[in-house]
Amino acid sequence: MGLGAPELIVIFVIALIVFGPKKLPELGKSLGKGLAEFKRASNELQRTLEEEVRLDDQKRTPPAPPQLGASPETIHSSAKEAIDAVSPPTVSSDDTPIIHHEEPVARGEHGS
């Protein structure tokens, strides 16, 4: 249901009669500026909505799971740091702290 050529000619003739030949170019210029501003505003609204949807999707997406399969060196150093943090240092007779580090025993190697 668009406007065809005959309808546009009728609208142009009516506008020419109502506004006159001197005002018609000015009216066309104003109409063109109005349509350009409307298009610019609608494009800005569309970009804003798309950005909001993208940000909302990012908030809903869960973070990546932690990396599995740490190396034995990382596990060993982490275990050693945990033991050091929990075990209080022993004090010798000259008030110098002595820290004992025990190597963790691997599963299945209990020494029995």
Main-chain phi, psi angles of 24, to 5 degrees:
-60, -45
The string of pLDDT tens digits covering residues 1-51 is: 677 888 989 988 898 898 888 888 888 899 899 999 999 999 999 999 999
pTM attached to this predicted model: 0.41
pLDDT for residue 69 is more than 70: no
Q: Greater confidence, 51 or 58? A: 51
| pLDDT score recorded for residue 29 | 92
Joined tokens for residue 88: 């209080």
